[in-house]
């Protein structure tokens, strides 16, 4: 099962989220949802009263993707990005959306400092708004994929060994 964590989900978690954390209590989020005329999805496993800048209430390497729409990029300190890294599986994806393009350098530095690789930035124009959103994606390194495998011996290589008098090992 692919698990997707939304950090700072509020009343509108990411459409693919299976799990969500938010700083607010269930009562406060329910009141916000009523005011916004929304329903908090029952298909998402929420954990409430979670400060993203402390520790996330999950084991290591459980999520394939961690997303955050305007939360971690705005309020997250370095610890929040390290926690996202911790709960991601090797090769997992971090997807952060921020509303202020001036924060890109600061947020990407925190992402890189947490250990992420392959950081990409994409500007997303929004209709009717002056400032675009910015989406930053990154990957947690996957040591299994990055390992090099020994080359298989080809027939040509075996013939050359035979001609030179070198015997194959293990035999």
C-alpha–C-alpha distance, residues 42 and 83, integer Å:
25
59 vs 100 pLDDT, higher one: 59
- State residue 151's pLDDT score: 54
C-alpha–C-alpha distance, residues 45 and 103, integer Å:
30
CATH classification for the domain delimited by 4-164, as one of 3.40.718.10, 3.40.50.150, 1.20.1600.10, 1.10.3720.10:
3.40.50.150
Q: Compute the average pLDDT of residues 27-33.
A: 93
Q: Compute the average pLDDT of residues 47-64.
A: 95
- State residue 93's pLDDT score: 98
**Residue 131 zone, left/alpha/beta (φ > 0; ψ -120 to 50; rest):** beta
Contacts of 148 (CB under 8 A, 6+ apart): none
**Residue 36 zone, left/alpha/beta (φ > 0; ψ -120 to 50; rest):** alpha
CB atoms within 10 A of CB 130: 5
Q: Compute the average pLDDT of residues 9-14.
A: 93
> Nearest Cα to 19, choosing from 44, 51, 40?
44
**Tens digits of per-residue pLDDT, 109-144?**
999 999 999 999 999 988 877 778 999 999 999 987
- State residue 125's pLDDT score: 86
Q: Whole-model pTM?
A: 0.80
CB atoms within 10 A of CB 83: 23
């Amino acid at each position: 099962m692919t698990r997707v964590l939304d950090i700072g989900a509020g009343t509108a978690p990411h459409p693919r989220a299976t799990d969500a954390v938010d700083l607010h209590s269930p009562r406060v989020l329910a009141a916000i949802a009523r005011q916004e005329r929304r329903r908090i999805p029952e298909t998402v496993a929420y954990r409430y009263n979670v400060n993203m800048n402390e520790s996330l209430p999950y084991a290591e390497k459980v999520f394939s993707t961690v997303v955050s729409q305007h939360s971690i990029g705005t309020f997250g300190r370095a610890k929040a990005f390290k926690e996202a890294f911790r709960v991601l599986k090797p090769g997992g994806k971090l997807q952060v959306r921020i509303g202020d393009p001036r924060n890109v350098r600061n947020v990407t530095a925190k992402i890189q400092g947490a250990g992420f690789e392959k950081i990409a930035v994409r500007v997303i124009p929004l209709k009717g708004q002056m400032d675009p959103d910015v989406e930053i994606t990154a990957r947690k390194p996957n040591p299994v994929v990055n390992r090099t495998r020994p080359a298989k011996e080809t027939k040509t290589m075996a013939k050359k060994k035979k001609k030179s008098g070198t015997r194959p090992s293990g035999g």
